[in-house]
Amino acid sequence: MSKEQGTLNLNSMMDMMTIILLFLLKTFSTSGAIVTPSQELHLPTSVIGTKPSKQLTVSIAKNKILVNDKKVLDNDEVRADMMLIPRLAEELQKYAEKEKELEREVGKEFSHEVIIEGDKEIPYDLLLKVMFTCSKSEFYKMRLLTIKKGES
């Protein structure tokens, strides 16, 4: 009786595992929370809403205003007699200039979009002033970020 030695061909198995891996990566959902609010920020809830895309974010917490998670000023520094918030306008203008430069150099279109995250307990006039400042700083396409009911 002769013994035959067999070899294991791993090529087919590797092809199969690669296909399964690609399938799982393609079907993996990344539509979760693209924007993560800070712990100091409690967003209002909404019934209807579209998913946010990654854009410039202006956050209005109970005691400070942030642009892309970087503190710009405290809320008590906002003057009651002015609609425009000068320090916020300066910071937003820097981002607008960066976006314009990217548009010139790379061809990435400047979308003029900003996502505003406002704590549900901030005064309405502060939200209005932030929105006015955004519109005067070339970010006139504004989206207010909320949490869809049932997801909080």
CA distance 25 to 55: 24
Whether 77 and 92 have beta carbons less than 8 Å apart is answered as no
CA distance 116 to 61: 11
Whether 115 and 145 have beta carbons less than 8 Å apart is answered as yes
**Tens digit of each residue's pLDDT, the chain (152 residues):** 667 777 777 788 888 889 888 888 777 655 555 555 566 666 666 556 666 567 888 989 888 999 988 999 998 889 989 999 999 999 999 999 998 998 888 888 888 899 988 888 888 999 999 999 999 998 999 988 877 666 54
Residues 6+ apart with CB under 8 A from 43: 37, 117, 118, 119, 120, 145, 146, 147
Distance of CA 118 to the CA centre of its chain: 13
pTM given for the model: 0.65
- The whole-number pLDDT of residue 152 equals 44
Whether 79 and 58 have beta carbons less than 8 Å apart is answered as no
Q: Strands (DSSP E) along the chain, which ranges?
A: 45-46, 56-60, 64-67, 70-74, 113-118, 141-145, 147-148
